[in-house]
Structure 1
Amino acid sequence: MPTHVPTRDAAELVQAVRKETAASGNRFLDLLESGDVPRERLVRLAGEQYRILGSDRRSFALLASRYPEPPAGDMFLSLAQGEGRALELLRDFAAALELSETDLTAYEPRPPAQTYPAYVAQRAAFGTAAEVALAMLANLEEWGAYCGRAADALTRRYGFDEDAVGFFRFFAEPPPGFGEQAAAVVAAGLEAGEDPADMARAARLLHAYEKAFWDALADGL
């Protein structure tokens, strides 16, 4: 978003960024829904997510320490706790794939699939609370929809039970109160004079890196 474009409020900025980063398709999930993703690629999904969750958990904890005052501090602490819960649920998915904790730890991640957590870590160290809040808020609906599709496909096409897909169900719905907290953090950033162009750029990049994650899972299929 160019810096000269006026932004009346946080809701307007979120809407503009969501429109700009609208989903453009997800080949991996298309293949998953048709039953054409082999088991070894599901192992890759679990392994990549294991790395992402651990990284994001630390990133959100760092953000909470950098911005401890509410609503930012509360929001980032909640997100860090959510990543911890998601990690527990991911282990159930891994177990359904006969993967142990040792297997997950030994998994060698693909660089394109890890650009998302790398960028979150960068923003956690050098970005602002409002940048991260906008990026997460703008991409939340798309990520949740993808997780919902994954859970449905894994149960319908691959025979996983609900315990095994709990990780995906967990992310299919937004964390309680997150939308309001994130919008408040974005609004505070705007009121403090942060450039909406910088905030929108963070959201665009995060969206691109999430797409890179899914593309990496579909690569070669």
Structure 2
Amino acid sequence: MTQSARQLLDRIRDEVADDHGENRFVPLVEAGTAPLTSIGALAAEELRIVPGDWRSFLTLAAEADTPAGRGFFTTLAQGEALVLPLLDPLAAKAGVNPKTYRYQPGCQAYASYVAWLALNTDPAVAAVAMLTNFAAWGQYCGRISAGLQAHYGFTPDDTAFFDFFATPVPELEQQGLDAVQAGLDAGVSFDKAVEHVRLLQGYELMFWNTLADLA
């Protein structure tokens, strides 16, 4: 039986589900014990990550051979464009000046790997890596938003960056599945997909736990 994009994605998610340990930062925000400056650090790190991901997604869109792949990565790039203006106000609210902030390698590893994927993998395989990461990233952002509003006096306007990613977008996931399916139909090899997902999720956890160490 021919494997569908949904079957491939579900299998990989199950395979890597318990590989990376726990996010130590989000519970600190939920409990109100993370210093406010750690939120500022997050915003400052994202001010470097978001433009990098934006370029990586545009690169993947340009490299994609199918309309589905081009559409998916173009939509991701547009999302980065929308959230970038939300980061300077978030850093200011948390009392961190991004111009004097020193970037942490553990926080920047994720974006570096996204750039590696853009240059070294088929866009359909990269789409699998991005799709498998969406649910966890969105959940973390939703929990941070709730913690900031509950314990730090943040308003919904202040948490707009997190709320953007916390809001489910079924149409975007379907675009990604269409991109993966187009790759499957074209005979693209997904043999390395699990490896890419493991690394990407590991680097994301490194991002959060580096912030926890700063806290």
Fold similarity call, TM over 0.5: yes
Measure, in 2, the Cα distance between the counterparts of 1:174 and 1:125.
28
Is it true that 1:90 corresponds to 2:84 in the alignment?
Answer: no
Q: Mean Cα displacement is larger for which, 86-95 or 125-134?
A: 86-95
Distance 1:151 1:75, change over 3 A: same
Q: Which runs of 5+ in 1 are unaligned?
A: 1-5
* Count of matched residue pairs: 213
Measure, in 2, the Cα distance between the counterparts of 1:7 and 1:55.
36
Residue 8 of structure 1: SS of its match in structure 2?
Answer: coil
Structure 2 length normalisation: TM-score?
Answer: 0.92
Is residue 44–residue 87 contact of structure 2 (8 Å, CA) maintained in 1? Answer: no
Q: Which runs of 5+ in 2 are unaligned?
A: none
Is it true that 1:76 corresponds to 2:70 in the alignment?
Answer: no
Runs of 4 or more consecutive aligned structure 1 residues displaced over 3 Å after TM superposition: none
1:54 is matched with: 51
Measure, in 2, the Cα distance between the counterparts of 1:45 and 1:124.
24
CA deviation map 1:81-123 (0-9, x unaligned): 1001111122231232245xxx324422111111110000011
Cα RMSD for the two superposed structures? 1.8
Alignment equivalent of 1:22, drawn from 10, 14, 17: 17
Measure, in 1, the Cα distance between the counterparts of 2:199 and 2:31.
29
Measure, in 2, the Cα distance between the counterparts of 1:62 and 1:220.
33
Alignment equivalent of 2:121, drawn from 100, 122, 127: 127
CA apart distance, 1:151: 0.3
Is it true that 1:204 corresponds to 2:201 in the alignment?
Answer: no
Identity of aligned residues (%): 40
Is it true that 1:9 corresponds to 2:8 in the alignment?
Answer: no
Structure 1 length normalisation: TM-score?
Answer: 0.89
